[in-house]
Amino acid sequence: MSAQLHGTDAFAELGSAAPRVGLRDHVYDRILKLLLGGTVEPGTRLGIDTLARQLGVSPTPVREAFVELERTGLVTREALKGYRMAPPLSPRQYGELLEARTMLETTAARLATPATPALLAQLREAHEAHRVSVDRILEYPGEVSDEVAVEAAADFYAKDTGFHRVIFEHCGNRYVSSMSDSLGAQLHRMRQVVHSGVPDAREALAEHEIILAAFAGTGSGITPEAAMAHHVEQVRRRALGLDAAPS
Amino acid sequence: MSAQLHGTDAFAELGSAAPRVGLRDHVYDRILKLLLGGTVEPGTRLGIDTLARQLGVSPTPVREAFVELERTGLVTREALKGYRMAPPLSPRQYGELLEARTMLETTAARLATPATPALLAQLREAHEAHRVSVDRILEYPGEVSDEVAVEAAADFYAKDTGFHRVIFEHCGNRYVSSMSDSLGAQLHRMRQVVHSGVPDAREALAEHEIILAAFAGTGSGITPEAAMAHHVEQVRRRALGLDAAPS
DNA sequence: ACAGGATCTTTCCTATAGGATCTAGGGAAC
DNA sequence: GTTCCCTAGATCCTATAGGAAAGATCCTGT
């Protein structure tokens, strides 16, 4: 490991594809994946110097990445004391998070109506990918511990998020879309704790189907906004365990 | 000016009251006030090293402050090219910004209903301060150029924002409140361009009165959410110049 | 005269060093 | 035995130096 890594040459050394971005963005992605991996316990001290040595860079880009991460709520900063992994979300925060998400999702669905051909095409594509991921999960009925199960669950969440992201990207309001991205990290973190998302994969897919039909105009006259409101409400009930789970 | 400013001693040198925060926050506030002052033309290069010398600090805290400012949309970053003052908002962005604000304000008003005694008390206080600022503006009917007019306008906007902020702080959803803060800088920037806010100070005050009455239950049965929706819609029409302005 | 290219300056970006601060652990006093 | 103080280690925060890329300027060839 060469100690001197200057300029864009550093990217070649790190091996990943090097877009026209600074080292800061690369470090940000690395730390983000680390925090979203779930292996870091809440409250853990995240030393800048330590992390910089582990990543093989200087503390400065790490510090910049933490400033961005602070805005996402994944880490908390205490002046002169350093950064820490944010404490686990309280039930109250769950509620507020889902409340905010409901606001954003319903608004985006309303703004995206009527659907453009581009929206419909991408939405169908995302929905198909979602269906594939759900099928992969349902293939393993029993306890396929560790590796494949975690991978399948991560893929399911990614495709689920992708479906919603398509709507945000076509809602015509960059601020609403940006707000959704800001909440993305916290939502991902919530799923790691609640865990009740994967068993309901089939239901989530069906509700997405209704939303897609509403956008396409092939539904039963329900507006996309109403369909989305219903979907998010169902997600909320399942996440909070308010429904009597069958079997 | 001593060249060596380490630790919290730097704050004493800079003269302001020194809370328990790092130098980064202080630099952030300084730059934020500079950008919100309106003297910086859009597209202006904001050199890190230059700004650091002007503020008498090292480039590192300036760099961290810019990472935060980038999230607010006031500055844009181009990798390996530095930071620039963000380009002026397009009419399209005006619309999206007001659209997003409508979503946030109406949601906050709905969540804050029914109003707690604390909300009503602070709302009345904020409204009274708003009234004072409006009276100060109306005192000077003619063209009181420069100094006092700008000061009065700034005070009016601050008090107007304060009224809305009270509702957000009592809506019980930290994410919605945080999103409002994120849009704050852009809204402030929009007002500098549109300028059509001050002449309508009287109308804005009257609409706030309706909102206050709705929260207090002394209104004509209208919900706070509806009152807020009406207010924001009126602001939108005035800002976009859709109404035929009398006189 | 104009276009293309080389050079130079400015600026950004990263790395390293040093001072200030917080936390942990041990010893002394009550 | 408990509490307080003090010392040592680690960490954060800031400052400075040096290498690299982008933009501007000047020169040269056609």
- The mean pLDDT values, 10 residues at a time, for chain B of 247 residues are 37 36 83 87 88 88 90 88 89 93 98 96 97 86 67 88 97 96 91 68 93 91 95 89 51
Helical axes B174-194 vs B59-72, angle rounded to 10°: 90
Cα distance from B146 to chain A (closest Cα, Å)?
34
Domain membership of residue B161 (yes or no) is yes
Same domain for B193 and B106:
yes
Same domain for A206 and A143:
yes
> Of all nucleotides in the shown strands, which has a C1' nearest the CA of B22?
D13
Show Cβ contacts of residue A97 under 8 Å, excluding neighbours closer than 6 positions.
A89, A183, A186, A187, A190, B175
Q: Which residue is nearest to nucleotide D14 (CA to C1')?
A: B6
- Is the C-beta atom of A7 closer than 7 angstroms to strand D? yes
Question: Of B85, B120, B140, which residue constitutes the final position of a domain?
Answer: B85
Show Cβ contacts of residue A121 under 8 Å, excluding neighbours closer than 6 positions.
none
Same domain for B190 and B108:
yes
Strand B82-85 relative to strand B45-46, pairing = antiparallel
A220 vs A69 pLDDT, higher one:
A69
Contacting A residues, span 110-139, partner chain B, CB-CB under 8 Å: 111
Contacting B residues, span 74-93, partner chain A, CB-CB under 8 Å: 79-80, 93
Provide the domain limits for residue B28.
7-85
Please give the pLDDT value at position A7.
38
Domain count, chain B: 2
Collect all residues of chain A within an 8 Å Cβ-Cβ radius of residue B96: 172-176
Please give the pLDDT value at position B57.
87
> Of all nucleotides in the shown strands, which has a C1' nearest the CA of A8?
D20
Of A20, A100, A175, the CB nearest to B100: A175
Pick the residue from chain B with its C-alpha nearest to A94.
B173
Same domain for B40 and B132:
no
Question: Of B67, B85, B103, which residue constitutes the final position of a domain?
Answer: B85
The gap from C-alpha A137 to its chain's centroid, in whole angstroms, comes to 19
Look up residue B61 and give its two tokens: 């805290």
Please give the pLDDT value at position B37.
83
Collect all residues of chain A within an 8 Å Cβ-Cβ radius of residue B182: 179, 182
Cα distance from A147 to chain B (closest Cα, Å)?
34
pTM here is 0.87
CATH number at residue A102: 1.20.120.530
Please give the pLDDT value at position B14.
34
10 Å CB burial of residue A39 (0-12, 13-18, 19+) is exposed
Determine contact: A100 vs chain B, CB below 8 A: yes
Collect all residues of chain A within an 8 Å Cβ-Cβ radius of residue B22: 79-80
Domain membership of residue A57 (yes or no) is yes
Please give the pLDDT value at position A198.
62
Around Cβ B5, how many Cβ atoms within 10 Å? Answer: 17
Domain membership of residue B247 (yes or no) is no
- Whether A66 shows a pLDDT value over 60: the answer reads yes
Find the mean pLDDT for residues A149-168.
91
Same domain for B34 and B129:
no
- Is the C-beta atom of B61 closer than 7 angstroms to strand D? yes
Tens digit of each residue's pLDDT (9 = 90 or more) over A75-112: 999 888 889 999 888 889 989 999 999 999 999 999 99
Domain membership of residue A95 (yes or no) is yes
- Is the C-beta atom of B23 closer than 7 angstroms to strand D? yes
Domain membership of residue B206 (yes or no) is yes
Cβ <8 Å between B79 and A174: no
Question: Of B38, B65, B85, which residue constitutes the final position of a domain?
Answer: B85
| A75-78 sheet: strands from edge to edge | A45-46, A82-85, A75-78
Å between CA of B85 and C1' of D21: 21
Collect all residues of chain A within an 8 Å Cβ-Cβ radius of residue B91: none
Please give the pLDDT value at position A58.
87
Query: What's the farthest any 2 CA atoms get from each other in chain A?
Result: 64
Nucleotides on strand C lying under 7 Å from protein C-beta = 11-17, 19-23
Tens digit of each residue's pLDDT (9 = 90 or more) over A113-152: 999 999 999 999 999 999 999 988 887 766 556 677 778 8
- Is the C-beta atom of A66 closer than 7 angstroms to strand D? no
Same domain for B108 and B61:
no
**Mean pLDDT score of chain A, rounded to an integer?**
84
- Whether A11 shows a pLDDT value over 70: the answer reads no
Pick the residue from chain A with its C-alpha nearest to B65.
A67
Residue B41 φ/ψ region, left for φ over 0, alpha for ψ in the -120 to 50 degree band, beta for the rest: beta
Q: Which residue is nearest to nucleotide C22 (CA to C1')?
A: A81
Of A20, A71, A172, the CB nearest to B79: A20
String of DSSP letters for B32-68: HHHHHTS-SPTT-EE-HHHHHHHHTS-HHHHHHHHHH
Among A13-27, A98-112, A223-237, B164-178, which stretch is predicted with the lowest mean pLDDT? A13-27
Collect all residues of chain B within an 8 Å Cβ-Cβ radius of residue A104: 103
Å between CA of A40 and C1' of D3: 36
Same domain for A80 and A26:
yes
Task: Grade residue A196 by pLDDT with cuts at 50, 70 and 90.
Answer: low
CATH number at residue A69: 1.10.10.10
Assign B114 to helix, strand or coil.
Answer: coil
Same domain for A172 and A54:
no
> Of all nucleotides in the shown strands, which has a C1' nearest the CA of A21?
C13
Same domain for A227 and A109:
yes
- Whether A22 shows a pLDDT value over 80: the answer reads no
Collect all residues of chain A within an 8 Å Cβ-Cβ radius of residue B67: 64, 67-68
The closest of B168, B170, B139 to B155, measured between CA atoms, is B139
Same domain for A101 and A52:
no
Please give the pLDDT value at position B190.
86
Same domain for B156 and B63:
no
Domain membership of residue B183 (yes or no) is yes
Same domain for B202 and B116:
yes
The helix, strand and coil proportions of chain A, stated in percent and rounded to the nearest 5, come to 65, 5, 30
A22 vs A45 pLDDT, higher one:
A45
Nucleotides on strand D lying under 7 Å from protein C-beta = 11-17, 19-23
Cβ <8 Å between A176 and B100: yes
Domain membership of residue B194 (yes or no) is yes
In the block, residue with structure tokens 């189907």: A209
Domain membership of residue B113 (yes or no) is yes
> Of all nucleotides in the shown strands, which has a C1' nearest the CA of B78?
C12
